[in-house]
Structure 1
Amino acid sequence: MNEETTRYLVTLVVNGVVREAAVPARRLLSDFLRHDLGLTGTHVGCEHGVCGACTVLLDGEPVRSCLTFAVTVDGHEVTTVEGLAGDGELSPVQRAFTECHGLQCGFCTPGFLCAVTAFLRDNPAPTEEEALEAVSGNLCRCTGYQNIVKAVHRAAEIQAETQGRPEDRGGRA
């Protein structure tokens, strides 16, 4: 068997669900998510890790799925843009991008949403410079970034507002 026909079983948790598929060794995580699992929210732009459109969360950390082989994530947890919302409710980051018009064509948006979600988990009250730095690894050709940065700050506000509510901590209202 050659490298093209040899397949490896990859089992991981994607958006809270155990998923598996047999893939070639060189299958990219972006292709695995889109083609093998049918999760097309992850977009592929440059295929060189530069644009950030393919950003997903691997064990909670943002990674470029176009640079990551699927076989290397076996046994790990991946969150895609489809997994950010909970129980049909938009996440604070998704809500903020909507409220602040932080998207236009939407192609880059899934990568921004994943990257900003991880950023705000680690820095819940960013300065203007920190917010700008956080989104600088993702390219957008439509927005000029002003509303994206506004959305980062608005998401931080939404998260701060909801932290005190029991239903947002998994408890009862």
Structure 2
Amino acid sequence: MAFTLTVNGKTHVIESSEDTPLLYVLRDELGLNGAKYGCGVGQCGACTVLRDGAPLRSCLAPAAAQRGHELTTLEGLQGPEGALHTLQKAFLAEQAGQCAYCIPGMILAAEALLRAHPQPSEAEIRATLDSHLCRCGSHNRIVRAIQRAAKEMAG
């Protein structure tokens, strides 16, 4: 049975089974590959997307349960006129992504944090990212990137 989802501001008719994880619908049916399959049990954060502005582990979330919600993937996070978002630019400037597998989820978690707390402390940033795993050891650069983005977004 088909259902619709709103992803990155566009409505899509989804043909997958209603219990298919959102991650698979995003990647396989919509071709949005920003969210990554990491652990498959919601513990690594690589699959994080935003649902109504809040982080959601898409590997655990049934796609059909997202009806009526606004979903945002890394592909939908843009700055003015389609340019890179301030967070994306800050991650590049701080060389925060080594392999970059975890970065889409971290950027989206940071976006939700900055919307709720435009000037977070380092402790708040670290607490937000605590459940996001990065094997490359880029944690300090990731924190600096979020701090940089917060300053730039503040004006």
Q: TM-score, normalised by structure 2?
A: 0.95
Aligned residue for 1:126? 120
CA contact (8 A) 1:49 1:64 kept: yes
CA distance in 2, matches of 1:59, 1:144: 28
Aligned residue for 1:138? 132
Residue number among 60, 69, 88 corresponding to 1:67 in the alignment: 60
**Alignment length (residue pairs):** 154
Runs of 5+ in structure 1 lacking a partner?
1-7, 162-173
Aligned residue for 1:160? 154
CA contact (8 A) 2:98 2:138 kept: no
Runs of 5+ in structure 2 lacking a partner?
none
Residue number among 7, 23, 28 corresponding to 1:14 in the alignment: 7
Aligned residue for 2:83? 89
Residue number among 40, 43, 61 corresponding to 1:47 in the alignment: 40
Percent identical pairs in the alignment equals 44
Root-mean-square deviation over aligned CA pairs? 1.0
Q: TM-score, normalised by structure 1?
A: 0.86
CA contact (8 A) 2:49 2:105 kept: yes
Q: Could you say which structure has the greater relative contact order, defined with CA pairs below 8 angstroms and 6 or more residues apart?
A: 2
Runs of 4+ in 1 over 2 A off after TM superposition: none
CA distance in 1, matches of 2:4, 2:16: 11
2:100 aligned partner, one-letter code = G
CA contact (8 A) 2:97 2:138 kept: no
